[in-house]
Amino acid sequence: MLSFDAELRHRLDAIRGQGLLRELRPVDSPQGTRIQVGRQTLLNFSSNDYLGLANDPLPREAAIRAVDKFGAGSGASRLICGSLAPHQELEETLARFKGTEAALSFSSGYATAMGTICALLGKNDIIILDKLVHACMVDAARLSGAKIRVFAHNDPDDLEDKLKWADTAQNGGQILVATESIFSMDGDAAPLREIAALKEKYGAWLMVDEAHATGLYGKHRRGLAEELGLNDKIEIQMGTLGKALGASGGYISGSRTLIDFLVNRARSFIFSTAPVPAAAAAAQAAILLVQSAEGRVRQELLWSRVGEFQSQIANRKSQIPGAIIPMIIGDENQAVQAAAKLREQNIFVPAIRYPTVARGKARLRVTLTASHSSEDVSELIRALKTFGLGL
Ligand SMILES: *Cc1c(COP(=O)(O)O)cnc(C)c1O
């Protein structure tokens, strides 16, 4: 018998042997286009801070005011010690922003999916997931006990096959179709119109995770559902507060009834201490900024940078622009080496590996933000070309 630590060291060695070891890299600065790692300043293409809000003065000051007025901590779960004003105001702002009756915030996107899917589904129900949905939806589907089916990525025909099966197998249970709108590691867009039409045809419910679309798409920057005119076709709209909104947390927006139900049944909401007031206040300030003229300016800046990148790098062209640009390398060790070479050039692009993506599909994941300058993008492209990447 190995000792506890020896056993875990053995397991870690196996992870390392497959090129899958992960280590934390301390950063000594706020998130931004330049981050400080020890003595090195890196040009940062790794964060989901698409609109440059994580360190923007408006959300920062809102967070500071919330600390001054409401303190550092939140005391308990909102159902136990009372629902602090910053959370109430965030949810009112969120519902107005999303154009839905109501909204509920959670401590993270992960907790949002867990709480919501497990509240809505049980073992008599069926959940049909896109092959590439985020781990939080997969984990939630498993924990819910519902029967799980997976459809080929962004493939409405395969989804229809699964819906046909579910239609005969449902036996009085519900069917939930769940997908992302913009996929976190591939950056491509789901065919939401086709998916929404299919869920109507088969009487299923639809949940769409807009983690990487909230703040970026649509006239009011609500997300891809708005861009495609689907706001009232999606029963459960999910998103996060930690990506384009620059704070942290997750949310569900939808009908008042859905929100009332989740307050009663979403265990990750009920049994978890409320996020700190500063997080709620920062997210609310970010939403107000996103809705303002400044939000539009940043949205346009972001798409300009994406356009510059795509015009110079041979890459998948899509009708819907995306700030996430994967450069598939395949082999895990090679992806890590490519990222290390870029870091030597003071450029930070993360290597993404299993289990975040499938084995043999390791990649560099470039994210562009509204804060990057044209020169930043040119510098990235120069470095990528030096290493023969992305050509
Ligand atoms: C990041 C992410 C989440 C999880 O959100 P957190 O707030 O980071 O827990 C959920 N879904 C998708 C698609 C994500 O990219």
Q: Indicate whether residue 117 lines ligand 1 (CB < 6 A).
A: no
Q: What is the pLDDT of residue 14?
A: 97
Which residue carries 């018998």 as its tokens?
A: 1
Asked if residue 176 and residue 43 are part of one domain, the reply reads no
Of all protein residues, whose CA lies closest to atom 6 belonging to ligand 1? 109
In a domain, 14, yes or no: no
In a domain, 235, yes or no: yes
User: Rounded CA gap, 265 and 120, in Å?
Assistant: 8
Asked if residue 64 and residue 199 are part of one domain, the reply reads yes
Tell me: the pLDDT tens digits for 84-124?
999 999 999 999 999 999 999 999 999 999 999 999 999 99
Residue 373 structural domain:
20-50+293-387
Tell me: the pLDDT tens digits for 16-34?
999 999 999 999 999 999 9
Q: What is the pLDDT of residue 317?
A: 60
Assess contact for 282 and 60: CB atoms under 8 A: yes
Asked if residue 249 and residue 135 are part of one domain, the reply reads yes
In a domain, 258, yes or no: yes
Asked if residue 163 and residue 129 are part of one domain, the reply reads yes
Q: What is the pLDDT of residue 313?
A: 80
- Final residue belonging to a domain, choices 267, 291, 315: 291
Q: Indicate whether residue 210 lines ligand 1 (CB < 6 A).
A: no
Asked if residue 263 and residue 184 are part of one domain, the reply reads yes
Asked if residue 297 and residue 284 are part of one domain, the reply reads no
Q: What is the pLDDT of residue 223?
A: 98
CA of 133, closest atom in ligand 1: 13
Asked if residue 174 and residue 63 are part of one domain, the reply reads yes
In a domain, 1, yes or no: no
Tell me: the pLDDT tens digits for 45-88?
999 999 999 999 999 999 999 999 999 999 999 999 999 999 99
Q: Indicate whether residue 134 lines ligand 1 (CB < 6 A).
A: yes
CATH number at residue 86: 3.40.640.10
Asked if residue 310 and residue 243 are part of one domain, the reply reads no
In a domain, 110, yes or no: yes
For the chain, give the mean pLDDT.
Answer: 96
Q: Indicate whether residue 209 lines ligand 1 (CB < 6 A).
A: yes
User: Rounded CA gap, 143 and 267, in Å?
Assistant: 12
- Final residue belonging to a domain, choices 263, 291, 319: 291
Assess contact for 149 and 167: CB atoms under 8 A: no
Number of domains observed in the structure of the chain = 2
In a domain, 271, yes or no: yes
Tell me: the pLDDT tens digits for 202-213?
999 999 999 999
Q: pLDDT class for 316, splitting at 50, 70, 90?
A: low
CATH number at residue 381: 3.90.1150.10
Q: Where are the alpha helices (DSSP H) in 121-215?
A: 135-144, 156-169, 192-201
- Final residue belonging to a domain, choices 291, 311, 326: 291
In a domain, 2, yes or no: no
The catalytic residues are 48, 134, 180, 184, 209, 212, 243
Asked if residue 352 and residue 242 are part of one domain, the reply reads no
Which residue carries 């009908």 as its tokens?
A: 255
Asked if residue 297 and residue 192 are part of one domain, the reply reads no
Out of 47, 134, 365, give the residue to mutate to test ligand 1, the one with the largest number of ligand atoms within 8 Å of its CB. Answer: 134
Asked if residue 141 and residue 234 are part of one domain, the reply reads yes
Asked if residue 246 and residue 101 are part of one domain, the reply reads yes
